[in-house]
């Protein structure tokens, strides 16, 4: 898709929002192109977390999977980095869906040397790898069996933002133009425990 360019004259003067929107669209398209195919495309079997939780990880050892969700924590273990992830279903591009319930949690084992700063809690992630087994842990003091994925490819998604309007505002939306008669704030939101939409992460 070719990026839009602006012309001189009335179009250039009258449509700053269109120009800004075109630039933004090009940037977004460039970002989407960087998503690895192992993340954007499901494996042939496309086994879901709910199936592994139901049947047991032993029945799926060595099976390729592509799962995603929200990073809850990162823990070093045996020279590797283990991510605890609150699962959510993925969209057609492999990004975790927003506003959906979770089927549970799983652990993703990253290669040695993975930087914790690259995997901050609260960020959405999609991993591609194989089921390696299960780990007996706990959530909130209660025992929980985590399916373990040996990660081959991972992708941390950029945070999403929504427009916040101060109480009592009922006017139009002119963010890309010059007219801005009201304070306009972008507030990040994350998915909290155990699942669902929250305006903050906890």
What pLDDT digit, counting tens, does each position of 66-78 carry? 999 999 999 999 8
Percent of the chain with pLDDT over 70: 63
Residue 19, both tokens = 């120009």
pLDDT score of 39 more than 90 = yes
Mean pLDDT of the chain: 78
d(CA 50, CA 58): 14
What pLDDT digit, counting tens, does each position of 115-156 carry? 889 999 999 999 999 999 999 999 999 999 999 999 999 999
Highest mean pLDDT among 17-21, 77-81, 98-102, 194-198: 98-102
Determine the CATH number of domain 37-156.
2.40.50.140
Domain ranges of the chain: 1-34, 37-156
Q: What is the chain's percent helix, strand, coil content, to nearest 5?
A: 20, 35, 45
Q: What are the angstrom distances between the C-alpha of 117 and each of 73, 122, 123?
A: 11, 12, 11
- Give start and end residues of each alpha helix (H) in the chain: 10-14, 16-33, 37-40, 49-55
What pLDDT digit, counting tens, does each position of 17-38 carry? 545 555 555 555 544 558 999 9
pLDDT score of 10 more than 80 = no
pLDDT score of 1 more than 50 = no
Contacts of 93 (CB under 8 A, 6+ apart): 32, 35, 40
CA torsion 43-49-50-51 (nearest 10°) is 50
């Amino acid at each position: 898709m070719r990026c839009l360019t602006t012309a001189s004259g009335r179009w250039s003067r009258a449509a700053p929002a269109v120009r800004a929107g075109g630039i933004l669209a090009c940037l977004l398209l460039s970002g989407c192109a960087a998503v690895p195919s192992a993340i954007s495309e499901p494996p042939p079997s496309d086994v879901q977390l709910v199936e592994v939780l139901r049947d047991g990880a032993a029945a799926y050892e060595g099976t390729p999977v592509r799962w995603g969700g929200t990073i809850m924590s990162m823990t070093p273990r045996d020279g590797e980095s283990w991510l605890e992830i609150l699962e959510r279903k993925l969209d057609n591009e492999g990004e975790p869906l927003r506003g959906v319930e979770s089927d549970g949690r799983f652990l993703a084992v990253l290669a040695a040397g993975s930087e914790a700063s690259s995997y901050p809690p609260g960020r959405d992630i999609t991993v591609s790898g194989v089921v390696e087994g299960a780990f007996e842990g706990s959530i909130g003091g209660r025992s929980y069996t985590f399916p373990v994925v040996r990660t081959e490819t991972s992708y941390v998604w950029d945070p999403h933002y929504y427009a916040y309007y101060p109480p009592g505002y009922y006017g139009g939306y002119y963010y890309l133009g010059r007219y801005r008669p009201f304070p306009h704030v972008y507030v990040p939101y994350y998915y909290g425990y155990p699942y669902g939409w929250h305006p903050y992460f906890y």
